[in-house]
Structure 1
Amino acid sequence: MSILKNLFIAASSIVIVALLYVLWTETQQKSSKAAPSKSAPAIAHSKTTHPVHESDLNIIELSPEAVKRLALEFATLEVRSMPRSRPYGAEVVLPTDASVIVSAPLAGTLRESPGREFPEVGQSVRDGEPLLELLPLLTPELSVLTHSERIRVAESKLAVAQAQIDATGQLQQAKVQSEATQIAFARAQRLFKSGVGTKQAVDDAQAQFESASEAFTAAQARKALVDDINLDAEAGTLQPIPIDSPLQGIVRSTLVQTGQMIAAGAALFEIMNDRVMWIRVSLYVGELDELSTSQPARLTLLDGVHSEQDTIAQPIAAPPTATPLSAAVDLYYEVANDNHHFRPGQRVAAHLPIIGEAETKTVPWSAVIHDIYGGQWVYEQVEPLKFVRRRVEVGWVEEGRAALLRGPAVGAQVVTAGAAELMGTEFGFAK
């Protein structure tokens, strides 16, 4: 019994010592946490009165050093006479002469131009650049002529010969006509100088002479073009005819392949010039009298928000078009597209100027900032070093100034440079 009693006393002593050690450890931890930090407190250059959501107003107070570092700039909200504009949905379209389909002048076989690959869709081409070659007839080096090919050779020779004969006859006729009108013009001048003829007779003779001269020049050009088609007397073959690009642009579509036999007049490829684009704006016919259609239009993205990337489009005289079912008429504008920024079929927002100006509250456009929900705000300086975010509604932007439909009172000082930094300070993602 004495041994058990001693063991019980020893175990109780160990438990009591362990409990005392745990209590001492907890006391040391609490005291270390409660001890004040000896490091120097951080100096805050900006502070807010209380954390709020973005829809609530908040007063931002900056230190003089923060204002100096941010280089804040201010402007006074004032009333000005502002030109007005109205946004409309618009479509980017190609001009009527921007797309050309190149056709084969004669029947024959297509092949690639020496040192060039077959033109691919989207490839940029220059004006007069050779894209393909046309072999009007098969040469003995390429193939042995069959019976049907010999018939085609004979038909081609006849067509070329007939074209050359017609060109020669037209050139002679144009030459005789030009010489006759020249003689008549000289005679009319002599009669007028002698007092027998009239001024009207001289003018008529001069017009006939100039018209005949133009016809003679065109006949010479046609004769030279036909003469470039050389006939091979030995095999009855023709030299390859280069197919050049008629304008500078990009290949929009190709309708043939190399080695293909094609007929005269068959479409080969289409070249599109997108360096100049048209903007078609559809609007309700009842609003047409309210707009100044002779002034340029501002092009923005579909959200209608103005930016430095906006493009100015000039009005042009285009064929009138309309949509009877929607009582809409179309206005056309022209814009340069050297950087290929616009594409056919692209939708944009066109801000058209309205006749007359309006007296409205305005601020510099740089003072307006946007939140993640599209809301528009400005920062107003209510006291030195204190700023408040105010909601505004921008009606339109012209010449770097925003017309406000609602906002702070006239005379308020708004921040024009550094507003984004103030928003970062207010919502905690900047210091």
Structure 2
Amino acid sequence: MRKKHVLLFLLLCVLAGCERPDEEAAEVEEPPEQAARTRGVVHLDQDAQAAIGIVTGKVTTSPQQEMWERLGWLVVPPGQQSVVKAAATGFYLPAIGESKMTVGTAVSQDAPLGSLQIFLSPQEAAQLVVAKEEADLVMNQALVSQRLAEQQLEKLERGGSTSIVAGKRLLELKEIIERNRVAYKEAQEKLPFLPSEPYADSLNLKSVPVKSPLTGLISTMHVVPRQLVVQGDPLWTIEDWSTLWIKVPIFEGDLPGIPHENPAYAVLPGTLSVEQVERVMHPQPTEPGRRTVDIYYRLKNPRGQLRPGQSLLMEIPHGKTEMQATIPRSALIWDGMGNAWVYLQIDPEHFRRQMVETGPGDAETISIMRGLKQGETIVTSGVQSLYGEEFKSDLQAEDDD
């Protein structure tokens, strides 16, 4: 009898245990509103929509140029890069206040970059001493000859002789005086570039200043302070990045189909910002064995946030125009997988997230290849806030955990 009671009790416990998971499942069942959100539908009343700035609009159509997606690279335009080279052999000395000049330093045109302290070999020093002595000799001889000629000229003029011989002598003396003046001046002009007396063991000549040929940034440094450089050695590479070119390789057979007058669009690296760029007529021949030719577009870079060598996604016009669904770029939202979405208004208080395939566009609008039709109502402003509302419950659940 006792065993029957025990078996009956165990049977009841087993039955109770089997029913318990169903009860727990009923307790954790998702509410209808949350289940709808997981399917990409968000419910917001009119007040909530106004609070987060929801604005809706109709999907329209507009003629869109057929576009190709190509990869381009930023390059420095011709004439906006300069390699500063040493004008003489010597030691580089930084300009006052420019001792910390390095890669990325901004410089202005004709700004002092430093100077070159001329280095002389023993043979060059000896040659300069000889040249200095010759210049001094020429100057002294010119002064003596000029003084003697002036004395003779003065006597002839004071004597008042009017003979032909005296007149010819006057002209000769005046010529001698003028030649000596020229010789003295020429020799004197050499002195700033020659050593001065008394001569020391090492001759110190006047430094040669080095200035920036253009306004830009130092992109490469080839020299450090007190370094000895030879005439013609590169010192710095200076580049102007205020405007860059985008180089895009195109198959030579496709080149005639790209209109010159139509702008292209560049997606800036690291952002979703799109810039309209104009074609640069910079024709280049096709290299043998290479079936592509480079075309160029001009891109302004006033803040210097872009760098030569960066790649950009380009949308290049090609072919004829066709009518396509068009929406504002503000209506798009991108997920972490690179997919584009919009919010389609189902009724005045419900919005469904809809995946779309984007096409070409401009800085303000973008065409939709698939996912939308003309006349449908979508959210054009407040998309980020609506996206947050859709996943708000998930974030709260994570915080509770």
The answer, yes or no, to whether TM exceeds 0.5 is yes
Query: In the TM superposition, what is the alpha-carbon distance from 1:356 to its structure 2 partner?
Result: 3.3
Alpha-carbon distance in 2 for matches of 1:99, 1:133? 21
Q: State the 4+ residue runs in structure 1 displaced beyond 6 angstroms.
A: 157-161
Alpha-carbon distance in 1 for matches of 2:295, 2:321? 22
Alpha-carbon distance in 1 for matches of 2:107, 2:72? 29
Residues 1:74 and 2:56 aligned together: yes
Instruction: Give the counterpart of 1:335 among 299, 303, 319.
Output: 299
Q: Equivalent residue of 2:254, what SS? A: helix
C-alpha contact (below 8 Å) 2:252/2:292 kept by paired residues: yes
* Change in 2 beyond 3 A, CA 1:408/1:241: closer
**Equivalent in the alignment of 1:122:** 104
Deviations 1:365-418 (A, max 9, x none): 222222333322222222232323333211122252221112233321112123
| 1:221-236 mapped onto 2 (5 Å cutoff) | 230-234=193-197, 235=199
C-alpha contact (below 8 Å) 2:279/2:296 kept by paired residues: yes
* Change in 2 beyond 3 A, CA 1:116/1:375: closer
C-alpha contact (below 8 Å) 1:92/1:280 kept by paired residues: yes
**Root mean square deviation, CA, Å:** 3.4
| 1:328-367 mapped onto 2 (5 Å cutoff) | 328-367=292-331
Structure 1 unmatched runs, 5+ = 1-46, 139-147, 162-222
| 1:396-411 mapped onto 2 (5 Å cutoff) | 396-411=360-375
* Change in 2 beyond 3 A, CA 1:319/1:84: closer
What TM-score do the two structures reach when normalised by structure 2? 0.66
Q: Which amino acid aligns with 1:275?
A: S
Query: In the TM superposition, what is the alpha-carbon distance from 1:64 to its structure 2 partner?
Result: 3.2
* Change in 2 beyond 3 A, CA 1:57/1:323: farther
Residues 1:244 and 2:228 aligned together: no
**Equivalent in the alignment of 2:252:** 285
| 1:2-401 mapped onto 2 (5 Å cutoff) | 49=33, 51=35, 56=39, 58=41, 60-117=42-99, 119-136=101-118, 148-149=121-122, 151-155=123-127, 230-234=193-197, 235=199, 238-301=205-268, 307=272, 309-322=273-286, 325=289, 327-401=291-365
Q: Percent identity?
A: 25
Q: Equivalent residue of 1:286, what SS? A: coil
Q: Which amino acid aligns with 2:274?
A: D
Q: Which amino acid aligns with 1:63?
A: D
How many pairs align?
A: 308
Deviations 1:193-228 (A, max 9, x none): xxxxxxxxxxxxxxxxxxxxxxxxxxxxxx9xx979
Greater CA drift, 230-239 or 247-256? 230-239
Query: In the TM superposition, what is the alpha-carbon distance from 1:155 to its structure 2 partner?
Result: 4.2
Q: Equivalent residue of 2:253, what SS? A: helix
Alpha-carbon distance in 1 for matches of 2:221, 2:321? 51
Alpha-carbon distance in 1 for matches of 2:132, 2:78? 33
Alpha-carbon distance in 2 for matches of 1:48, 1:422? 19
Query: In the TM superposition, what is the alpha-carbon distance from 1:424 to its structure 2 partner?
Result: 2.8
Alpha-carbon distance in 1 for matches of 2:231, 2:380? 67
What TM-score do the two structures reach when normalised by structure 1? 0.62
